Structure 1
Amino acid sequence: MRFTIGIILMFATLASTSRIHRYESRNNIDKYTQECGVELKISPSDLNKYSTPYMPEDAVGQCFRKCMFEKFGILDKDSAFKPEEILKLMSQNNHPLVGDADFISRIEKCAKEANLIENACERALRGAKCFNSESMKNKKIES
């Protein structure tokens, strides 16, 4: 199966320095991808298109993102983003910007803006887009 959605990769595997942790994260991604596929009744042949960084933004793609985010614990029981859990997951994976105040502020802003969206699946898409926006990608990692 091809690599799964970019936002989960950012949180779960980006800059991880532990091979064991990367292996566990990869296993979780594969497991959650299958679970979300079953929950959303996505056929195995269609699951490939929803488990790529450039998955469709249709209703299924939106709800697939929501499902994955729920599995990773970055959404609360009302499907609102939890910035503290996003940062915790990134910290567990040794993301180099976790302590950066500007980066933290951007994560919090994305979560706050996405949480204003009424529909939980659309909210997941909006959050994913913001987290993967150019302003987040262009944040320099200083060595």
Structure 2
Amino acid sequence: MKVLLVLLLGLAFVLADHDHDHHHHHEPYVVKTHDDLVTYRTFCADKVHAGEELVEKYKKWQYPDDAVTHCYLECIFQKFGFYEPEHGFDVHKIHVQLAGSGAQVNHSDETHQKIAHCAETHSKEGDSCSKAYHAGMCFMNANLQLVQHSVQV
């Protein structure tokens, strides 16, 4: 479930900068696993100095609207390869991650459009951490079931 949330957040972040996604999607994307997520969580919690209480919330897919959490999610999305501060989100990579390894992705379908909408809606909000957080929360709120399903593998 946590991996799905991370994937969903990543998808939202990719959408946050849809204008730039054409710079990214030509690179092959390797779908990340639950083990990858666990590794990224530990790395990012240490990087942003998240306290034990926050880390426990993250494990339950709870992401408070605070500066530490904003940068934690930005870090997670960067580790997944969904987000770069200079370019924003890569909607295509988020969609591929949500679809899962070996799945065919239709970049004109509803899921892709939801991801792109969240990315575009939040692409100009504050700093890089805030953009990543708000776009990620947008996508998770719109597609939580899909996100949760994608990381149960």
Q: Do these two structures clear the TM 0.5 threshold for a shared fold by scoring above it?
A: yes
- Give the secondary-structure state (helix, strand or coil) at the position aligned to 2:82: coil
* Counterparts of 2:55 and 2:74, CA distance in 1: 15
For 1:17, the equivalent position in structure 2 comes to none
Higher helix share: 2
* Counterparts of 2:144 and 2:42, CA distance in 1: 28
**CA RMSD, Structure 1 to Structure 2 (Å):** 3.1
Displacement, 1:90? 2.2
* Counterparts of 1:11 and 1:90, CA distance in 2: 11
Task: Specify whether residues 95 and 45 from structure 1 end up closer, same or farther in structure 2 by C-alpha distance, changes over 3 A only.
Answer: farther
Q: Which consecutive residues of structure 2, in runs of 5 or more, have no partner in the other structure?
A: 11-30, 147-153
Structure 1 segment 1-143 matched on structure 2, within 5 A: 4=2, 6-10=4-8, 25-44=33-52, 46-78=54-86, 80-93=88-101, 98-99=105-106, 101-134=109-142, 136=143
Identical aligned residues as a percent: 20
* Counterparts of 1:87 and 1:121, CA distance in 2: 21
TM, length-normalised to structure 2: 0.66
Q: Which consecutive residues of structure 1, in runs of 5 or more, have no partner in the other structure?
A: 13-21
Displacement, 1:106? 1.4
Between Structure 1 and Structure 2, whose CA radius of gyration is higher?
1
* Counterparts of 1:138 and 1:28, CA distance in 2: 20
TM, length-normalised to structure 1: 0.70
For 2:149, the equivalent position in structure 1 comes to none
* Counterparts of 2:66 and 2:3, CA distance in 1: 14
* Counterparts of 2:57 and 2:141, CA distance in 1: 21
Query: Structure with the greater relative contact order (CA < 8 A, sep ≥ 6): 1 or 2?
Result: 2
